[in-house]
Amino acid sequence: MGMASAGCIGKEATFIERLDIHPRIIESAKRNGYTSAWSIINSSPEDIEQRSGLTAAETTHLISCVVNATIKKPCTGTAYICTESQFPARRLRQMADHCRVHHPFAQCSPNSSSRSLDKWTNNIHVQHIANMEDLLNCIQKQLPMLMQHREVGLVVIDSVAAVFRVEDAQSQSRSQSLTALGYALHQLAMTKNLAVLALNQVTSARGHDVLHGSFDDFVPALGLAWSNLITTRLALSRKYPQSQQCVIPVRNLEVHFSPWLPRASANFIITEEGLKDMMNPN
pLDDT for 9 equals 34
Cis preceding linkage at 114, omega within 30 = no
DSSP-H helix ranges across the chain: 23-31, 37-41, 45-52, 56-70, 89-102, 116-122, 132-137, 143-147, 172-192, 223-227
Mean pLDDT, residues 82-86 taken together: 87
> Among the listed ranges 54-58, 144-148, 157-161, 205-209, which one has the minimum average pLDDT value?
205-209
Q: Where are the domains of the chain?
A: 6-70, 77-277
Q: Summarize pLDDT for 17-41 with one digit per residue, the tens.
A: 878 788 888 888 888 888 877 778 7
Residues of 259-279 as b/e, b for ≥16 C-beta within 10 angstroms?
A: eeeeeeeeebeeeeeeebeee
Please say whether the beta carbons of 108 and 75 come within 8 A.
yes
pLDDT for 181 equals 93
Instruction: Please say whether the structural domain 6-70 has been given the CATH code 3.30.1120.
Output: no
Q: Please check the confidence at residue 112 and state whether its pLDDT lies above 70.
A: no
Give how far Cα 126 sits from Cα of 3, 159, 184, Å.
Answer: 41, 13, 19
Mean pLDDT, residues 240-255 taken together: 78
pLDDT for 41 equals 73
pLDDT for 114 equals 45
pLDDT for 224 equals 81
- pTM: predicted TM-score of the whole model, two decimal places: 0.66
pLDDT for 183 equals 93
Query: In CATH, which of 3.40.50.300, 2.60.40.1180, 1.20.1560.10, 3.40.630.30 is domain 77-277?
Result: 3.40.50.300
Q: What is the C-alpha separation between 282 and 278, in angstroms, rounded?
A: 9
Residues 6+ apart with CB under 8 A from 196: 154, 155, 157, 185, 188, 189
pLDDT for 8 equals 34
How many Cα atoms within 13 Å fall on the side-chain side of residue 36? 3
- Dihedral sign computed on CA atoms, order 203, 208, 212, 218: positive
pLDDT for 280 equals 52
Q: What is the C-alpha separation between 253 and 214, in angstroms, rounded?
A: 15
